[in-house]
Amino acid sequence: MSTTLPDPDVFRSEARAWLEQHGELRAAATGDGSDPDWGTGSDNVAVFHNRSEAEEAEILGRAQAWQRKKFDAGYGMLSWPVELGGRGLPMLYVRIWNSEESRFVIPDAGELPPTSMGLIAPTVAAYGTDAQKQRWVPPIMRQDEYGCQLFSEPAAGSDLASVVTKAVRDGDEWVLNGQKVWTSGARFSQWGLAITRTDFDVPKHRGLTAFMVPLDAPGVEVRPIRQMSGGACFNEVFLSDVRLSDADYRLGNVGDGWRVALTCLGFERDHSGGGSPVGGSLKRVLGAARHFGLTSDPHIRQTLADLYAHEKMAQFTNRRAAAALKAGQTPGPEGSLSKLMWTANMKRVSDAISSILGPRLIADTGEWGTYAWGEHVLGAPGYRIAGGSDEVQRNIVGERVLQLPAEPRVDKDVSFSEAQRLARKA
């Protein structure tokens, strides 16, 4: 922590001066600063982008270039501890920076940079040894390297504690074998934070251990998965006799993998539903309704008003959560509420635009702002599963907010191998 904090107004004017010198002011003064008006600019509203590997690399390159400039000027890790290369400033300065930066073009490279910097880096900071923190945090925060989440497996998603990727100790090393799936960004990541099973003879949550896996290690194979909306944002990752040194790559204590996973998922929940625009917006839906002369249609009017009201509710919920955080409270179940509202509103956008466009949604006539919406409508349901499905979020709200009885957890007090045996018998 800095001993003397910069005056916030001075900090703001210095940040503004730096941004004016190094950044590119957003071109369109569109009022909300985000979407172009109907018929202008790109009509891409994809939730998951359909890009070639070369395009993806180019877009990541632009995000990296911007982050590196920021990082080298001291704006890349404002609230991080000084010993890790940060400035140790309170969140107030992050908010000042964000509000200034939002007037400039911030290259958007999708999920990987926020996952890497917002989930993986802070988890390493929470559990790593000093050497591990120095090894991973600064390069990840400068986007010199990326990290992804090697959590889900074919038979362990919502019930993540049931992972069966095995890590077996062999002297100073561990040998990993198993399969991960739905790994976002693995093709462009250097590192994967993997949750593995190191003990089958204790209850499932207690037999897990976390590792940072170098994705170029012998025995690691990354295979892209093609989505129905095009693109291949996710991957299967196969681990076959991958050897990792205990001292360098184990993150946290042996048997502490569940705590590492929960910490990482906590950061993920804070990042989901925070209002970051994904896919098509209300403004674009409204633009389409005006363009096609449907603003007097009673059904469309109801749909638009409903969407507006729900977006406002989501914004107020997010602001309440942000205010609670600012007041020093730890993130609570409102993260689940925000995520549920965010995904429900993405679906409302899909429903509204489908009513407005009708057959234009599925017939590619080349008309601006019509067929392109297919990539929102087909992609939006994915976020109702990612980062904890709607049902799992509702379980959290039910148990933690409404104090409903917890779900029965029959495998809580038996060893994982016994629980698996009983499940096979059932």
Ligand X SMILES: Cc1cc2nc3c(=O)[nH]c(=O)nc-3n(C[C@H](O)[C@H](O)[C@H](O)COP(=O)(O)OP(=O)(O)OC[C@H]3O[C@@H](n4cnc5c(N)ncnc54)[C@H](O)[C@@H]3O)c2cc1C
Catalytic residue positions? 268
Binding to ligand X by residue 395, rule CB under 6 A? yes
Binding to ligand X by residue 53, rule CB under 6 A? no
For 250, the enclosing helix (H) or strand (E) is: strand 250-251
Q: Which of 184, 190, 263, 318 binds ligand X (CB under 6 A)?
A: 184
Gyration radius of the chain over CA positions: 23
Q: Which of 290, 391, 412, 423 binds ligand X (CB under 6 A)?
A: 391
Binding to ligand X by residue 227, rule CB under 6 A? no
Which range, of 255-263, 310-318, 323-331, 383-391, touches ligand X by CB under 6 A? 383-391
Binding to ligand X by residue 386, rule CB under 6 A? yes
Binding to ligand X by residue 409, rule CB under 6 A? no
Which range, of 134-142, 150-158, 163-171, 369-377, touches ligand X by CB under 6 A? 150-158
DSSP class per residue in 349-386:
HHHHHHHHHGGGGTS----TTTGGGHHHHTTGGGGGTT
DSSP class per residue in 99-130:
HHHTTB-----TTHHHHIIIIIHHHHHHH--H
- Measuring CA to CA, how many Å separate 260 from each of 49, 60, 239? 30, 27, 20
Binding to ligand X by residue 258, rule CB under 6 A? no
* Strand-strand pairing, 191-197 and 147-150: parallel
Instruction: Report the alpha-carbon distance of residue 247 to residue 207 in Å, rounded.
Output: 19
Q: Which of 59, 254, 313, 385 binds ligand X (CB under 6 A)?
A: 385
**Closer residue to ligand X in complex, CB, 152/318:** 152
Q: Which long-range contacts (CB under 8 A, 24 or more apart) does 22-26 make?
A: 22/69, 22/73, 23/101, 23/104, 23/105, 24/104, 24/105, 25/103, 25/104, 25/105, 26/103, 26/104, 26/105
Binding to ligand X by residue 389, rule CB under 6 A? yes
Residues forming a β-bridge with 212: 193
Provide, rounded to whole angstroms, the least separation between the CB of residue 65 and ligand X: 24
Binding to ligand X by residue 196, rule CB under 6 A? no
**Closer residue to ligand X in complex, CB, 81/114:** 114
Which range, of 10-18, 102-110, 349-357, 388-396, touches ligand X by CB under 6 A? 388-396
Instruction: Report the alpha-carbon distance of residue 357 to residue 144 in Å, rounded.
Output: 43
Binding to ligand X by residue 148, rule CB under 6 A? yes
Binding to ligand X by residue 378, rule CB under 6 A? no
Residues forming a β-bridge with 25: 104
Binding to ligand X by residue 151, rule CB under 6 A? yes
Binding to ligand X by residue 158, rule CB under 6 A? yes
Binding to ligand X by residue 112, rule CB under 6 A? no
Instruction: Report the alpha-carbon distance of residue 271 to residue 234 in Å, rounded.
Output: 19
**Closer residue to ligand X in complex, CB, 244/346:** 346
Closest residue to bound ligand X by CB: 157
Instruction: Report the alpha-carbon distance of residue 14 to residue 7 in Å, rounded.
Output: 11
Q: Which of 64, 67, 143, 152 binds ligand X (CB under 6 A)?
A: 152
Provide, rounded to whole angstroms, the least separation between the CB of residue 191 and ligand X: 13
Query: Degrees (nearest 5) of the Cα angle 128, 133, 139?
Result: 140
Binding to ligand X by residue 198, rule CB under 6 A? no
Close Cβ partners of 381 (under 8 Å, ≥ 6 residues apart): 347
- The binding site for ligand X (CB under 6 A) comprises 148-149, 151-152, 157-158, 182-184, 234, 382, 385-386, 389, 391-392, 395, 407
